[in-house]
Amino acid sequence: MPISIRLATLEDIPPLQQLIPESVRALSATYYNSDQIESALIYIFGVDTQLIRDKTYFVWNQVKILRESAPFTFIRAGREKE
């Protein structure tokens, strides 16, 4: 499967806004109840546009075939190695 890592752009915000709640709900389900998870989505988790503007937010694109060709995106914040 081809993988590419690139800096996130402002155009990545809509997919991130969809991905973050899905991830939080799935990954938090064994630790928190649904009220806590939904509250975290309001007050804690979200797209940090400043990291995108600072060029410290990366997107990992991986293409995998599931019924149809569908890209899966993994997100990571951090600085590139110099």
Q: Is the pTM of this model over 0.85?
A: no
Instruction: Look at residue 41 and tell me if it is in a domain.
Output: yes
Residues 6+ apart with CB under 8 A from 1: 62, 63, 64
For 23-43, what is the mean pLDDT? 95
Instruction: Look at residue 13 and tell me if it is in a domain.
Output: yes
Range in 3-17, 44-58, 62-76 the model is least confident about: 62-76
Instruction: Look at residue 82 and tell me if it is in a domain.
Output: no
Q: Which two tokens stand for residue 69?
A: 């060709």
CA-based torsion, 61, 7, 28, 42: positive or negative: negative
Instruction: Look at residue 18 and tell me if it is in a domain.
Output: yes
Query: Where in the sequence is the domain holding 53, given as residue range(s)?
Result: 3-77
Instruction: Look at residue 17 and tell me if it is in a domain.
Output: yes
Number of domains in the chain: 1
